[in-house]
Structure 1
């Protein structure tokens, strides 16, 4: 690990920034496969680690109108203990929209519903590029599978919501990642077993276990509480968000 990833003095902990991740699952093989990639070596946060596509929430995300909204249970889960003011559905929606945008940016894959009308416009270049693919975000089948806040001893911290979505929502060729930004390298569809053999951040490994539990018993998935992992000082806490 790079020393710059950790606080070296007694300065106050960095405030976590909102972030979101999308775990896409394929069911067209003998075993479910998930999309993961390797973070570029030049990243200051978790370089060379394998992760799911995702990144920070942008202000533009809250201004995007999806084709279909989040389900009420997922909205409620996202608003549970929402930091930074009064919880709102608009902010909850922005997390899922950020996951769609970041997935498009990092992988080149277009996740959403086909749009036959004129594409909307945004001040954000990546949203404009997404809309030009003839797509609108469809959040209706996303499920929240975890939430995690980076430990306070890190120099970069994120309050990340992890979503799971089916690869059938990909409008583009799911094997064509030629439009990826290069932030994630070595993009592959992996079985859970294959993913476990990679160099993973601890939180990614924990979320992977939750994803596996949901895939093994899909009938019970929507009744599972959502793990919420954060820290009190240097001590990790695993709480739960009600299903």
Structure 2
């Protein structure tokens, strides 16, 4: 077996993804959105809300939003994950209930170019940064021209809020069980990129929201070890291999079935 190692791989952009959870009639449900077919990255794919970190996500003022003690090393990732979720799906986990009118006002501000921190301060909303739990850190394989180093967060869905896609990046949004989404991909009705598919496979084994949160990474001050899929030639053909002990299975997936973007 041999590993394919590309020369001079593109540096991955820091990014964050938010997986909203709720308990439905058939068990655990997650919120996903369908990306616009005209996008450069993952066109038409079903993904969790998320995106690249921006410079403002690193601003020291966000430390004041942390309720107690020293903020974690992933604070900027948490900010980015919440910001992207508001922009793409119209949902925001907060420390107190949020009315639809205030949420709509917040989203209009962001769409008009208002900064996330300024918009939150204007409407008097405190984001629930401390209620997010890290599930994993995925890095896009080295052979791709667009790469991301992404933290995946789990969070309980905010009560009383209904998702509304932005109509730009997201053209559809829905709640579904991980098993349903995987079955729809198997039948050819849905596109899943590799990290999304692996995440759904892991969450498919969780009976409810409590079980999903319990399977998340152990909290700490540092970022979790990255999961970097590597292309490996085997006797049975090329596979993408992930590190043993990373919490995800299978460790090898046929390259013919993997969508990377």
Q: TM-score when scaled to structure 1?
A: 0.71
Question: Is this contact kept in 1: 2:13–2:148, CA < 8 A?
Answer: yes
Does residue 32 in structure 1 map to residue 28 in structure 2? yes
Does residue 193 in structure 1 map to residue 179 in structure 2? yes
CA positional deviation for 1:39 = 1.1
**Residue of 228, 239, 243 corresponding to 1:238:** 243
Distance change in 2, residues 1:131/1:25 (3 Å): farther
Match of 1:238, SS state, is coil
Question: Is this contact kept in 2: 1:67–1:113, CA < 8 A?
Answer: no
In structure 1, C-alpha distance between the alignment counterparts of 2:245 and 2:87, rounded to whole Å: 31
In structure 2, C-alpha distance between the alignment counterparts of 1:21 and 1:240, rounded to whole Å: 22
2:134 is matched with 144
Identify which range, 159-168 or 202-211, moves more after superposition: 202-211
Question: Is this contact kept in 2: 1:225–1:240, CA < 8 A?
Answer: no
Unaligned runs of 5+ in 2: 1-5, 99-105, 185-189, 219-224, 233-239, 248-261
Structure with greater Cα Rg: 2
Q: TM-score when scaled to structure 2?
A: 0.67
Aligned residues: 209
2:258 is matched with none
**Residue of 110, 114, 117 corresponding to 1:125:** 114
Unaligned runs of 5+ in 1: 1-9, 76-88
In structure 2, C-alpha distance between the alignment counterparts of 1:217 and 1:111, rounded to whole Å: 15
Distance change in 2, residues 1:33/1:71 (3 Å): farther
**Residue of 86, 89, 94 corresponding to 1:104:** 86
Identify which range, 128-137 or 146-155, moves more after superposition: 128-137
In structure 1, C-alpha distance between the alignment counterparts of 2:79 and 2:230, rounded to whole Å: 29
Match of 2:205, SS state, is helix
2:236 is matched with none
Does residue 160 in structure 1 map to residue 113 in structure 2? no
Question: Is this contact kept in 2: 1:39–1:184, CA < 8 A?
Answer: yes
Does residue 13 in structure 1 map to residue 18 in structure 2? no
Question: Is this contact kept in 2: 1:148–1:159, CA < 8 A?
Answer: yes
1:94 is matched with 76
